[in-house]
Amino acid sequence: DAGITQSPRHKVTETGTPVTLRCHQTENHRYMYWYRQDPGHGLRLIHYSYGVKDTDKGEVSDGYSVSRSKTEDFLLTLESATSSQTSVYFCAISEPGLAGVSYEQYFGPGTRLTVT
């Protein structure tokens, strides 16, 4: 199994509070991603990183920010949590292959976030 951990695994927070989720990898993979999983929507990309300090928005980035100060850590911050951000959040990693890109991603175990 790829060495990916997420913390916390479960969190309940109140509307309006900031929340930070952490993803830590031991694989030294260059690319990292944050997804959210919701019923009927599958996995949707929030933000991604293609290197240290290099990040960009995904398809559902509003209300979220990210930071990557070192290869192994990718943080997702909900600036002011809302009930619509209640979801399961997954971190994933991948590494460019010899052909320039590898599409195979390895996922962490997920964080279940409830905003009340």
Q: How far is CA 38 from CA 35, 85, 86, 90, 112, in A?
A: 10, 10, 9, 11, 11
Q: Is 108 in the site for another protein (CB under 8 A)?
A: yes
Q: Is the dihedral of CA 21, 65, 56, 39 positive or negative?
A: positive
Distant-in-sequence, close-in-space partners of 114: CB < 8 Å, separation ≥ 6: 11, 12, 13, 86
Nearer to another protein among residue 87 and residue 108 (C-beta): 108
Q: Is 34 in the site for another protein (CB under 8 A)?
A: no
- Residue from the set 43, 61, 71, 75 that interacts with another protein by CB under 8 A: 43
Q: Is 92 in the site for another protein (CB under 8 A)?
A: yes
Report the interface residues with another protein, using CB under 8 A: 4, 31, 33, 35, 40-45, 48, 50, 56, 58-59, 90, 92, 94, 96, 101-110
